[in-house]
Amino acid sequence: MLKTNQNNPISRTRVKICGITRPQDALVAAKLGADAIGLVFYQKSPRAVTVEQAQAIIQALPAFVTVVGLFVNAEPTFVHGILAQLPLELLQFHGEESPEDCQQFAKPYIKALRMRPDVDVQAFAKRYTNAKALLLDTYVQGIKGGTGTVFDWQQVPTHLSKPIIIAGGLTPENVSQAITTLTPYAVDVSGGVESAKGIKDAEKMSAFMRGVSMSNIKSFTHQETSLPDAHGHFGIYGGIFVPETLMQPLEELRQAYEHYLKNAAFLAELNDDLHNFVGRPSPLYHAARWSQHLGGAQIYLKREDLNHTGAHKINNTVGQALLAKRMGKNRIIAETGAGQHGVASATVAARFGMECVVYMGAEDVKRQAINVYRMRLLGAQVRTVESGSKTLKDALNEAMRDWVTHVDNTFYIIGTVAGPHPYPAMVRDFQAVIGRETRQQIKVLTGRLPDFLIACVGGGSNAMGLFYPFLDEQDIAMYGVEAAGDGLDTGHHAAPLCAGKPGVLHGNRTYLMSDQDGQIIETHSISAGLDYPGVGPEHAWLKDTGRVKYVAVTDDEALAAFHDLTRMEGIMPALESSHALAYCKKIAPTLDKDKIIVINLSGRGDKDIHTVATLEGIKI
């Protein structure tokens, strides 16, 4: 039996749009994905319909939309009369009808309960034992339905024997909060999507449906982990370690992020851009030939390489740029190593008409000339960083310095799940779309959740994005793959989780590569995107708790996997992602054929062909 208030990740909140009076409104509702429409047969209601109106509406409806007839203390003969003329599929009783009254028509029904302060929902549910669901509505003296105000949601018991439908004062703005708070079976809206009583507004209905779908996505990430705490800690990791000047701006950012991540209009805009600008959802692809070749588990690739700009980075930059816009900041800055995050930042800056400055280490500017030019084409200013080791960590320092100086008008888009709170949580939340889609897609493709997840870890944003929505699934094993460079024992690597120790850098406490004196040391990896001495604090926490296993593969192993996938599947992976593939090569052959592995193919490899050619002594 379905427990109503428990989150089933695959379930979706149903939507009923009530008080429809015109065929065109019914049609729009159906088109937007409403599951049911409600017709009011109660003459005192401003939304009451005649039999003729109802016939026209029902005629206009496509298949698979339930038509609900609403009655309030109606005479049985009246209800019978309506049923004789109209094909109503479900009855809704909104008055003081007894269980016997409701059952006498031999039709499935739902019973409305107006939420008086002293109402006993449990007793009510037991009494109406045959009701398909209980519809909880606001109680206002003398008004039956359509009150336009919400009731006290705290009154709803957490465990109830009947599915619940939340009604009363729902709007596009508050529906996602209602769903997150109550996880109902369905929501019922009427006045909240109208331009006048009985006249539905297409824009508002559309916004309402977006609010529902986004909050569905939110609501099942909600329970997976309660971390970080209020100060950004994941166990002993994370936190805020910045100069005083940045403390208040970070607090403002935290407030804005927490506000907008629950704001239906913001989520709707984000969702729209992820769909139409980024090209989401990205496919989940069964690498059948490669799986067969390796002779073990079935391997599925989450194709983040097919996103606009060619990597997962843009999921986060779109989110942060939209946040910057809401916060009134029109200048964005970013750090970049390989240039992927820089390109993703420059891209959204162009998209939203913002000024963009990207900091890049002098060494990386030399190694990644094409991405530098790409950023400039997009209108960004690329500033070469000559300090320290002239790589990603120094670019991050320089971006922080810029932020301290221009904090009034500038938004710093950090590209990974590191930095001071709220960045690690915020970037994770923007990237978690990867894991949420994967959950749905793998269920459709295979009928179940995977056995293994594998992702490469530099700062760790693509890995966090894939892992996060699965963290509560204790049966799923997860592997984060770091860059072992020339080998962990050579010291030339970028594997702080496998070979580093906890410390503080770039605003958070995490595993770092530093020397005995606490100075940050230079890293090495064939892949510029993994060439960073730190890692997101949530990974540090997941390592210590043992929830995720962190391993490392060498440059050579990654390079071999790069060639394998290119030749066997016609997909050229980024060298970063090739680290995840290389680890998969080690475990897939040891597993049964019915096991399922999902790898985050975080980016495409076109950017790396010069590196690969040079390593192999080929001149292009």
Partner 1 sequence: MSRLTDKLRAQKRTALIPFITAGDPTPNLTVPLMHALVDAGADIIELGIPFSDPMADGPVIQRASERALAAGTRLSDVLKMVKTFREQNQTTPVVLMGYLNPIEIMGYKSFVKSAQAAKVDGVLTVDLPPEEASEFCTLLRSHAIAPIFLLAPTTTPERIKRICAQTDGYLYYVSLKGVTGSANLDVTSVAEKVAEIRQYTKLPIGVGFGIKDAEMAAQIAQISDAVIVGSAIVQRIETEPQDKLLETIPAFLRELRQAMDGMTSNV
Min CB(328)–partner 1 separation in Å: 16
Q: What is the nearest approach in angstroms of partner 1 to the Cβ of residue 457?
A: 21
CA pair distance 299, 584, nearest whole angstrom = 8
Taking CB under 8 A as the binding criterion, the range among 29-37, 471-479, 505-513, 544-552 that sits at the site for partner 1 is 505-513
The verdict on 240 binding partner 1 (CB under 8 A) reads yes
Q: Does 524 bind partner 1 (CB under 8 A)?
A: no
Distance of closest approach, residue 416 Cβ to partner 1, in angstroms: 16
CB 555 within 8 A of CB 485: yes
Stretch that binds partner 1, among 54-62, 442-450, 457-465, 512-520 (CB under 8 A): 512-520
Q: Which range binds partner 1 by CB under 8 A, 178-186, 267-275, 461-469, 516-524? A: 516-524
What are the backbone angles phi and psi of residue 101, rounded to the nearest 5°? -55, -45
Residue 248 touches partner 1, criterion: CB under 8 A: yes
In the residue annotation, 437 being an active-site residue is answered as: no
Catalytic residue among 335, 437, 538, 557: 335
Q: Which positions ≥6 away from 535 have C-beta within 8 Å?
A: 418, 457, 458, 459, 460, 482, 496, 497, 510, 511
Binding span for partner 1 by CB under 8 A among 146-154, 245-253, 362-370, 483-491: 245-253
Binding of residue 409 to partner 1 (CB under 8 A): no
Which one of residues 158, 381, 387, 614 is an interface residue with partner 1 (CB under 8 A)? 387
Q: How far is the CB of 386 from partner 1 (least distance, A)?
A: 9
Phi-psi region of 87 (alpha: psi -120 to 50; beta: other; left: phi over 0): beta
* Residue 183 touching partner 1 (CB under 8 A): no
Q: Does 408 participate in binding partner 1 (rule CB under 8 A)?
A: yes
Minimum Å gap between C-beta 551 and partner 1 is 25
Query: Contact between 516 and partner 1 (CB under 8 A)?
Result: yes
Whole-angstrom distance, CA of residue 511 vs CA of residue 497: 6
CA dist 535 and 510 (Å) reads 7
Q: Which residues of 446-466 are buried (b: 16+ CB within 10 A; e: fewer)?
A: eeebbbbbbbbbbbbbbbbbb
Angle, CA 319 vertex, CA 314 and CA 324 arms, to 5°: 120
Closest-CA residue to 67 (of 31, 43, 38): 38
243 binding partner 1? (CB under 8 A):
yes
| Residue 247 binding partner 1, by CB under 8 A | yes
What is the DSSP secondary-structure string of 200-250? Answer: E-HHHHHHHHHHHHHHHHHHHHHTT---S-TT-EETTEEEEE--GGGHHHH
Number of chain residues interacting with partner 1 (CB under 8 A): 42
Q: Is 419 in the site for partner 1 (CB under 8 A)?
A: no
Q: Which of 118, 139, 120 is nearest to 128 (CA)?
A: 120
Draw the binding track, 65-104, toward partner 1 (x: CB under 8 A; -: no contact): ----------------------------------------
Using CB under 8 A as the binding rule, whether residue 573 contacts partner 1 is answered as no
Please tell me whether residue 404 binds partner 1 under the rule CB under 8 A: yes
Residue ranges in 315-374 that form contacts with partner 1 under rule CB under 8 A: none
Q: Is the peptide bond before 424 cis (omega within 30 degrees of 0)?
A: no
Q: Which residue has the tokens 């692809």?
A: 285
**Token pair belonging to 304:** 């983040």
Q: Does residue 335 have an active-site annotation?
A: yes
249 makes contact with partner 1 (CB under 8 A):
yes
Site string for partner 1, 215-234 (x = CB under 8 A): ----------------x---
Owner of token pair 């009701």: 131
Q: One of 313, 329, 390, 585 is an active-site residue; which one?
A: 313
* Cβ proximity to partner 1, 240 vs 360, nearer residue: 240
- Cβ at position 216, least distance to partner 1 in Å: 35
Q: Which two tokens stand for residue 105?
A: 């028509």
Side chain identity at residue 571, one-letter code? I
Q: Are 584 and 597 in contact (CB under 8 A)?
A: yes
Mark the segment that binds partner 1 (CB under 8 A) among 161-169, 246-254, 274-282, 309-317: 246-254
* Residue 503 binds partner 1 (CB under 8 A): yes
Stretch that binds partner 1, among 9-17, 344-352, 390-398, 599-607 (CB under 8 A): 390-398
Q: Please confirm, yes or no, whether 443 is among the known catalytic residues.
A: no
Alpha-carbon gap, residue 160 to 126, rounded angstroms = 9
Q: Of residues 97, 578, 602, 607, which has the active-site annotation?
A: 602
Query: Would you say 253 or 294 has its CB closer to partner 1?
Result: 253
- For the stretch 165-168, contacts whose Cβ atoms lie closer than 8 Å and that sit 24 or more positions apart, written own/partner, are 165/14, 165/16, 165/110, 165/133, 165/134, 165/135, 165/136, 166/136, 167/18, 167/112, 167/135, 167/136, 167/137, 167/138, 168/115, 168/136, 168/137, 168/138
Residues contributing to the site for partner 1 (CB under 8 A): 231, 239-249, 387-389, 393-394, 396-397, 400-401, 404-408, 501-507, 509, 512, 514, 516-521
Catalytically active residues are: 313, 335, 602
